[in-house]
Amino acid sequence: MKKIILIIGASSGMGKETAKKLIREGHTVYTVARRIDQMQDLKALGGYPMQMDVTSENDIRKVINTIIKEEGKIDVLWNNAGYGLYGSVEDVSLAEARKQMEVNVFGIAAVSQMVVPYMRKAKSGLIINTSSMGGKMYFPMGAWYHASKHAVEGLSDCMRLELKQFNIKVVILEPGFIATEFGSVLIGNFSKVSKQSAYTGMMDKIIEGTKKAAQGNGSSKPSVIADTVNKIVSSKNPKTRYRVGKFAKPMVWMRTYLGDRLFDRIVMSQM
């Protein structure tokens, strides 16, 4: 059945690839991101790109009002905006850390708060929140990123219980290593840290590992996310969580069942 879908964060990677698939499936797909120039190919396919910053309530309100005016409803909201801030807790400024939480966590809350009233009125809806396998585990130098994704997990679980009474489903997407801009952003964050940092050796190891993951078979293609989101959208009763992509399932399994000390040793053996 054709649905009205809003994808937050569709200018590249998982969001863009999924938007293409959903458009081809016949859905009406609105895509938003700060970089509207990078979504013109989606417009050519039949999508509806709009510019929006998840940290701007005015931007969000304008987008939601436009969709409701044109379509009368929003069936599916995919909160997919986010980025990875990496660096030690000692080195990363609190201003940068607050920005990370503003985009990755409060962005989800801000968009959801404006969409949910329309879903409640319709007594139907689906919200997909992008977390990460990093929302269930951790790596050194990623404290603020992991903190944001752990927060997304808790936020989403509570939303699921609160919104069930209104027939609104909440699904958590937990990607593993996916071939997107994430790695280049991560490396770019490290470049901002002083070369005199006490954590330079650890940063170099993570940069090396990130570059390797971007090559060969170190990460999954964004199409695996596109297929999964399409499956969620098409399902009458989707699962509460979907863990997909390279290393997602085994890494979370190890974190869950091996305990803190053993998992710590495994992670640090890569350093």
Give the model's pLDDT for residue 23.
97
The catalytic residues are 11, 131, 145, 149
Give the model's pLDDT for residue 214.
62
Query: By residue range, what is the domain housing residue 117?
Result: 4-268
Burial (CB count <10 Å: 0-12, 13-18, 19+), residue 263: middle
In angstroms, how far is CA 7 from the centroid of its own chain?
11
In angstroms, the CA 147 to CA 136 distance is 10
Sign of CA dihedral 113, 148, 228, 258: negative
Ordered per-residue pLDDT tens for the chain, 271 residues: 899 999 999 999 999 999 999 999 999 999 999 999 999 999 999 999 999 999 999 999 999 999 999 999 999 999 999 998 889 999 999 999 999 999 999 999 999 999 999 999 999 999 999 999 999 999 999 999 999 999 999 999 999 999 999 999 999 999 998 876 666 666 666 666 666 789 888 888 887 877 776 665 667 889 999 999 999 999 999 999 999 998 899 999 999 999 999 999 999 987 7
CATH number at residue 24: 3.40.50.720
- Lookup: tokens for 76: 């599916």
Domain count, the chain: 1
Enter the pTM of the model.
0.93
